Structure 1
Amino acid sequence: MVIKQFLITPAAGKRLIAKAMVKYPAITEVLESGTVAIIAGTTNGYVAEEILSKVNQLEGFSRKRFFRGIVLPPGGPVTSTGRAKDESGFPGDVIIKEGIWQKGLTIFDVVDDLKEGDIILKGANAVNLPLRQASIYIGDPFGGTIGKALQAVVGRRVRLILPVGMEKRVYTDLNNLALRLNIPGAQGPRLLPVPGEIFTEIDAVSLLTGAKAEQVAGGGVSGAEGSIWLAISGKEEQVKSAESLLKSISYESSFEF
């Protein structure tokens, strides 16, 4: 058994997850014959890049405005609802139907037509890995994109996949946390635990290389804030494959918009 440790920044983690999403069996199965709906978000911007590259339709796509709401440092240009002040450049979600990108459409345009086996990809704001729970901040009084998406997930067995970086890890039961945050009189965004397939950097390493990954430390400064240290273990060829993969994404630049 070989063990090596690697530092992964949040941006590199997003790229790693995205590279694995292209190889995710459920996605490869439905990409050419069904609908894959990638709901806008920062991690999903990387996912959309990789999937659009796979189907040779990346031209015209940019990650820079591929979100509805983002979290910025104090003083950043966001409103109390988490929406950017200027959304005029929002390109829509990425909806791929039978291998063709339906430019300009959003989840709201297609959700009623999604059928069993189709896929929705949606980012998350919190993940409890020991309990395999994920939850999403809600700023919209009607539940936002996830509120609409869940109609298809629970009503028609549309598959919900949640690509989420480990910098969003928490250790509270998210169902109990949501009960406290959502009571009348509480302030701040609401929190919605969602039933979906959680996919993190750890899952990405396993899928792409066969190696085992576990977090052993975290943090950093000067651009390494939010980073995680992963210990990668397995057969020598698996660890070498993981090392090559992680080196290829290690200098992914920080997200800009």
Structure 2
Amino acid sequence: MITTKLNTKQIHITVPAGKRLISKAVVSLEQIKEALKNNTIVIIAGSTNGYVGEELLLAIDQIENFSRNTFHRGVTIGPGRKINANGAYFNTDIVIEKGKWIKEKTMFDLGEELGKGDIIVKGANAIDAERKVAGVQIRTPNLGPSGPMMQAAIGKRTEVIIPVGLEKRIFGSITEAASKVNDPHTDGMRMLPLTGTIVTELEAIEILTGASAELVAGGGIYGAEGGCWLAITGTEEQLYTVTELINSIIDEPAFGIE
């Protein structure tokens, strides 16, 4: 019996590089490719989703003047920082119908139209990677774009893909955290537990290379804040592919907001 020799390689991925890695994995998914031909894809505005939108619009040669730096709604920023709430793609979504970017539509226009075969890409603010559950912070009583998203996901069985970086990992259960912050006696934002096809850096490595990855350490300084150390296990060929992939994204610049 011939056994394949597996080796393990450790790599560090910054938060921006992780966003780029995740976006490349999402765009490579077979259901995304199929939906581009025959169905609708909705990418809801968000920082990680900006990378997904960029990769997908590049793939279909419709990038035009798209800027991921303004592709957001609610964001968490550092103390004293400000963002431009009037950017070109602020409060918008990317809607692609059978391979064509329909610029005038958002998630709010599509809650009742979407169904099986269609895909919604939604970022998250928290991830329980072990239980495969994400959490979305909610600022408004009408749930924002998460309202029509859930209408499509639950009511019509539209697939939800959740690109989310490991820097958003939490301890314990998302549902228990949601129960606490949604309590009538709690102040601040609410939380929506969300399930679907979750893609963190761990899933991204497997999707793109076939190797397996696990989180072994995190953090750093001087640009490495929030980054993660991954132990990646695979064949010699897979680890070579991992090295080439990481080298292609390792210098991804810090996220900029216009």
Judge same fold: TM > 0.5, yes or no.
yes
- Partners of 1:90 and 1:27 lie apart in 2 by 22
- Partners of 1:20 and 1:244 lie apart in 2 by 15
* Alignment of 1:32 onto 2:31: no
Deviations for 1:63-110, whole angstroms, at most 9, x for unmatched residues? 011000111112223xxxxxx562353352110000000013211122
- Partners of 1:249 and 1:235 lie apart in 2 by 21
**Structure 2 unaligned regions, length at least 5:** 1-5
* Alignment of 1:110 onto 2:110: yes
Question: Does the aligned pair in 1 maintain the 2:132–2:195 contact within 8 Å?
Answer: no
Partner of 1:80: none
Partner of 2:25: 20
- Partners of 1:218 and 1:26 lie apart in 2 by 31
Q: TM-score if structure 1 supplies the norm length?
A: 0.94
Q: TM-score if structure 2 supplies the norm length?
A: 0.94
Deviation at 1:116, TM superposition (A): 1.5
Partner of 2:160: 160
Question: Does the aligned pair in 1 maintain the 2:17–2:249 contact within 8 Å?
Answer: yes
Q: What secondary structure does 1:135 align onto?
A: strand
Partner of 1:86: 85
Question: Does the aligned pair in 1 maintain the 2:110–2:148 contact within 8 Å?
Answer: no
Partner of 1:42: 47
Q: How does 1:203-242 map to 2 (within 5 A)?
A: 203-242=203-242
**Structure 1 unaligned regions, length at least 5:** 78-83
Aligned-pair identity in percent equals 45
* Alignment of 1:144 onto 2:165: no
Q: What secondary structure does 2:110 align onto?
A: helix
- Partners of 2:225 and 2:153 lie apart in 1 by 35
Letter in structure 1 aligned against 2:222 = S
Question: Does the aligned pair in 2 maintain the 1:124–1:164 contact within 8 Å?
Answer: yes
CA RMSD of aligned residues (A): 1.2
Deviations for 1:100-136, whole angstroms, at most 9, x for unmatched residues? 0001321112222112220000000000011111110
